Structure 1
Amino acid sequence: MSGRTGRGGRRARVAALRPRYQDELRDGTGRFFEARRTTCPWCGSARLRRRLRTTDHLQGKPGHFVLDACHDCGHVFQNPRLGDDGLEFYYRDCYDGLGRSTMTRTAGSPLAVRLYRSRARALLPFGRPTRWLDVGTGHGHFCAEARKIHPGTAFHGLDLGEGVESGARSGRIERAYRCPFPDLAARLTVRYDVVSMHHYLEHTAAPRRELAAAHRVLRPGGHLLIEVPDPQSAAARLLGRWWGPWLQPQHLHLVPLDNLRTALTEQGFTVVSAGRREPHVPTDLTSAALNLLKAVLPPPDLPWLPASPGPVRRAVRALALAAATPVLLALFGLDLLLAPLARRTRLSNAYRVIARRN
């Protein structure tokens, strides 16, 4: 398919989706949110402060989103939080639909593959698992790479999107579950040797419930592998609302490492490994620049916009992107150059925890 045909096909899909989006947005975005909390959902403290107010940098869907931080325990959470209708609206066309091709390219990039292999190798000191459940698996790309490091392991995947079924059809995972994890856990008690959650827990409405589900499906002595953005990262303070891992409106809870350690202990786990070095994703400067660029550029043709952009606006956007590309490449090079320093300091943007089920 030529580039021209591909662009024409996308425009047709956008035009077909526009009536539904415009109907949903007729009364604004307020109906997508629950009531604002006055206490911390993690510890119950009423000592809250606003951490930031931002927009949807990833997709450019309308709306403003607030992250509050607890003064007592440091938990960061979306407040007011999206309800079920809001989550469905903002996730739609991100990982599947219009956004599927972009996410597939990202998942197959060399940087992503390196991270997948690092996560898989982290379990090598704890033996060879027979069955491994990857929660929030997307299209199963992690499982395909992890199988090379853990041959003979049966990899299953769980997600809410259609990508998990695509992962099973392609052979990246042996079995697909398309349902909420706590619902599955009620049916699969003491089934798995490993459960992994890579940048999944921050997307969930009730993180402690997800930990309880992991405890239920793991056999005694099995391991839970968690990787999440670190809200205590120095990069988050330096880059403010442009910091990529805030990822609003998808990230509902950002849990400090000490809080997660305590919660795992309460759920019946023993933390056997924790660190910030390996899970750091060296894209902070690049993603912040991209977020800023998206905020000032004329938006592309998107179904949640009232109308398709005209030729002048499209030309301005193309010229601006062309001018910005060398800067973005330079920033990506700088991210890679600074990665060894970031991994050894609080500039690291993520942390990883491995916990054993007691």
Structure 2
Amino acid sequence: MLERLSKCPLCKSGRFLNYTEITDHAVTRETFILCKCSDCQLLFTNPRPSTTQIGPYYNFPEYFSHADKAKNLTQWIYQKTRNYNISKKVDFIQQFKKKGKLLDYGCGTGEFLKEAKSRGWKIAGIEPNEKARNQARLKLKDKVKYSLEEIKKEASFDIITLYHVLEHIHDLRKTIKKLLNHLKSDGYLIIAVPNYESHDAKKYGKYWAGWDVPRHLYHFNTAAIESFKNEFDLELCSVKPMKLDSFYVSLLSEGYLDKQTSLLTKYWKAFHSGLKSNKLARKSGEYSSNIFVFQKK
């Protein structure tokens, strides 16, 4: 039985309404309800699978974000894009700190941490998914833990990253508070999330791959990020678009929208969709995904 929330997971308001229903196109074909908080604008799955129920939604062969090996062309594109982004991610954090201690929450199979380590960072990772964690430990050994509780209480970090992870966390408020307790006073919290008000989100509607229910428990827009900042008494230092995301999300969305279309047609349509999404976002700021850099006030 799914768990039903009586309060917004971000601001704890009880004022929310049903917003839409979205199908899990990637894995199960189940439909889930998204609610919208009237106060902070966060969208959240409600009811949702509990922490003990969510595991099977990640473990289907069709779901590949925790895999190291590609089994088809779309997975190959995903991994090539991911590998390109890994180096760029390290470049990005080094704009704020040249070296130091890095915690990657939701580190997946560990490529980002491996690259950071090779550049002199002291690293630690958290990865709840067993399959991904085991792959990460082959690269990084005991540097990757199952949960934050395994990190020493006195440990502090210069940078804590959550790249496309915040939307997966059940205990949203508790987890962020714990992470902030591990963040140095001059450290940076770096979060990347999809944007449900981007052009590609609006174009594909209920077929937009960025919904990814029920694995994505939350969906943020600019107002929800502002609420996030205020809830945790943070200062927003920088915002950076993830321009490649619009292409990859469009490719997945094309597959959900029309399974009969040829691969070549899907890639062509996705390419044009990604271009248009980024072009419109240059004026609106509504990119498919954004990286937000926070500091404690």
TM range (shorter): 0.7 to 0.9
Task: Tell me what 2:37 maps to.
Answer: 70
Give the superposition deviation at 1:199: 0.5
1:252 and 1:115 map into 2 onto residues whose CA distance is 24
2:288 equivalent to 1:353: no
Alignment of 1:1-358 (within 5 A): 31=1, 33-35=2-4, 37=5, 39-59=7-27, 61-93=28-60, 101-102=69-70, 105-106=75-76, 109-147=79-117, 151-162=119-130, 163-171=132-140, 175-179=143-147, 181=148, 183-184=149-150, 187-276=152-241, 280-294=245-259, 320=260, 324-338=262-276, 340-344=278-282, 345-358=284-297
**Structure with more helix by fraction:** 1
1:194 match: secondary structure: strand
Give the superposition deviation at 1:160: 0.8
1:229 and 1:96 map into 2 onto residues whose CA distance is 18
1:86 match: secondary structure: coil
Structure 2 counterpart of 1:111, one-letter code: T
2:137 match: secondary structure: helix
1:83 match: secondary structure: coil
**Among the aligned pairs, what percent are the same residue?**
20
2:263 and 2:168 map into 1 onto residues whose CA distance is 30
Residues 117 and 83 (structure 1), Cα distance of their counterparts in 2 relative to 1, 3 Å cut? same
**Larger of the two Rg values belongs to structure:** 1
Structure 1 counterpart of 2:248, one-letter code: T
Give the superposition deviation at 1:277: 5.6
**Structure with more strand by fraction:** 2
Q: What does the per-residue CA deviation read over 1:129-153, in whole Å, with 9 as the maximum and x for residues that have no partner?
A: 32211111110122234456xx111
Residues 339 and 116 (structure 1), Cα distance of their counterparts in 2 relative to 1, 3 Å cut? farther
Moved more, 69-78 or 96-105: 96-105
Give the superposition deviation at 1:227: 0.3
Give the superposition deviation at 1:243: 0.6
Structure 2 counterpart of 1:170, one-letter code: K
Residues 256 and 347 (structure 1), Cα distance of their counterparts in 2 relative to 1, 3 Å cut? closer
1:176 and 1:170 map into 2 onto residues whose CA distance is 9
1:331 match: secondary structure: helix
1:248 and 1:97 map into 2 onto residues whose CA distance is 14
Cα pair 2:189 2:295 within 8 Å, conserved: yes
1:271 and 1:121 map into 2 onto residues whose CA distance is 19
Residues 284 and 96 (structure 1), Cα distance of their counterparts in 2 relative to 1, 3 Å cut? closer
Cα pair 2:101 2:157 within 8 Å, conserved: yes
Moved more, 261-270 or 153-162: 261-270
Cα pair 1:229 1:350 within 8 Å, conserved: yes
Residues 40 and 250 (structure 1), Cα distance of their counterparts in 2 relative to 1, 3 Å cut? same
1:73 and 1:234 map into 2 onto residues whose CA distance is 21
1:279 and 1:96 map into 2 onto residues whose CA distance is 18
1:136 and 1:208 map into 2 onto residues whose CA distance is 16
Q: What does the per-residue CA deviation read over 1:52-79, in whole Å, with 9 as the maximum and x for residues that have no partner?
A: 21222112x2532111112332110001
2:184 match: secondary structure: strand
Task: Output the TM-score relative to the length of structure 2.
Answer: 0.84
Cα pair 1:134 1:156 within 8 Å, conserved: yes
2:53 match: secondary structure: helix
CA RMSD of aligned residues (A): 3.1
Residues 208 and 107 (structure 1), Cα distance of their counterparts in 2 relative to 1, 3 Å cut? farther
Cα pair 1:234 1:346 within 8 Å, conserved: no
In the alignment, structure 2 segments of 5+ residues that lack a partner are: none
Task: Output the TM-score relative to the length of structure 1.
Answer: 0.71
Residues 262 and 39 (structure 1), Cα distance of their counterparts in 2 relative to 1, 3 Å cut? closer
Structure 1 counterpart of 2:59, one-letter code: R
2:101 and 2:199 map into 1 onto residues whose CA distance is 37
Residues 274 and 268 (structure 1), Cα distance of their counterparts in 2 relative to 1, 3 Å cut? same
